[in-house]
């Protein structure tokens, strides 16, 4: 190897504009989850985040909400 990026005679094919690249697949239909799978995911997420919902909000968030609530809205003419 000479360390340069010169063309060694072997050219690699380049994808046409708008064509998928190597290793990509085009999907012919939208992926769907069964209602049972959706219910299971919902239950798992609720169980995962249940403890988080019981946590108190950090003071900096409460301060931000208070500041946002005290500002007046300007109407756009």
From the first residue on, what is the mean pLDDT of each consecutive set of 10 residues in the chain (77 residues)? 54 64 66 93 95 93 91 57
Tokens (6 digits) for 48: 């995962």
pLDDT for 69: 85
Tokens of 35: 């209602």
Task: Please report the pLDDT score of residue 14 as a whole number.
Answer: 65
Residue 9 is predicted with a pLDDT of 56
Residue 45's pLDDT is 95
pLDDT at residue number 28: 66
Report the greatest alpha carbon distance in the chain. Answer: 70
């Amino acid at each position: 190897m000479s360390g340069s990026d010169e063309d060694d005679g072997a050219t690699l094919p380049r994808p046409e504009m708008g064509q998928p690249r190597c290793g990509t697949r085009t999907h012919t239909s939208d992926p769907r989850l069964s209602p049972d799978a959706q219910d299971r995911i919902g239950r798992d997420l609720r169980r995962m985040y249940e403890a988080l919902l019981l946590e108190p909000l950090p003071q900096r968030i409460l301060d931000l909400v208070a500041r946002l609530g005290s500002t007046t809205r300007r109407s756009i003419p």
